[in-house]
Amino acid sequence: MKSFGKAIGYGILVWLIPFIVAFILFPIHDSARPLFESVMAVTVCAAAVVFGIAYLKNVKEGVVQEGIRIGTLWFIISILIDAPLMLLGGPMKMSISEYIDDIGITYLCIPVITWGLSVAFSRSANELNPSDKNAD
């Protein structure tokens, strides 16, 4: 990790922002479930994009590997914080299979997004410096 502290901090925010949105929108969870689920997926994606760009914009070497690492880290952070809240307490009290189906799978978009961003950053850097043969 280029900046472990920043990666952890951003990872917590990638989890926290959707959690806050879910808390605000929870009253529509049952009455407008498709809307709730759609807003949550978009929120997770938006957080991953914003913090992925913020983190990766300063990475100069090994961008693709770093994108995969931070996405995996942020996925793990989200699951480690979120799963106990949803499985052991809170308003939802889900089973493990319900959690995976409803929330856990959505978190897989995080490493997919950071990987995609890192490929785009890597290609952009190669286009700016085509003489560099040591690209990702």
Name the token pair of 48. 């991953």
The torsion angle over the Cα atoms of residues 93, 98, 100 and 101, rounded to 10 degrees, is -140
Measure CA of the first residue to CA of the last residue in the chain; give whole Å: 16
Model pTM?
Answer: 0.86
Nearest to 17 by CA among 46, 38, 37: 46
In this predicted structure, the answer to whether residue 93 has a pLDDT above a threshold of 90 is no
Q: How far is residue 106's CA from residue 108's CA, in Å, rounded to a whole number? A: 5
Domain ranges of the chain: 4-127
Q: Give the mean model confidence (pLDDT) for residues 96-104.
A: 88
In this predicted structure, the answer to whether residue 104 has a pLDDT above a threshold of 80 is yes
**Over the stretch 32-61, which tens digit does the pLDDT of each residue have?**
999 999 999 999 999 999 999 999 998 989
**Over the stretch 1-29, which tens digit does the pLDDT of each residue have?**
778 999 999 999 999 999 999 999 999 98
Q: How far is residue 131's CA from residue 32's CA, in Å, rounded to a whole number? A: 54
Nearest to 107 by CA among 46, 41, 51: 41
Instruction: Note the pLDDT of residue 99.
Output: 87
DSSP strand E in the chain: where? none
Confidence of residue 129 (pLDDT cuts 50, 70, 90): low
Q: How far is residue 103's CA from residue 121's CA, in Å, rounded to a whole number? A: 29
Instruction: Note the pLDDT of residue 91.
Output: 63
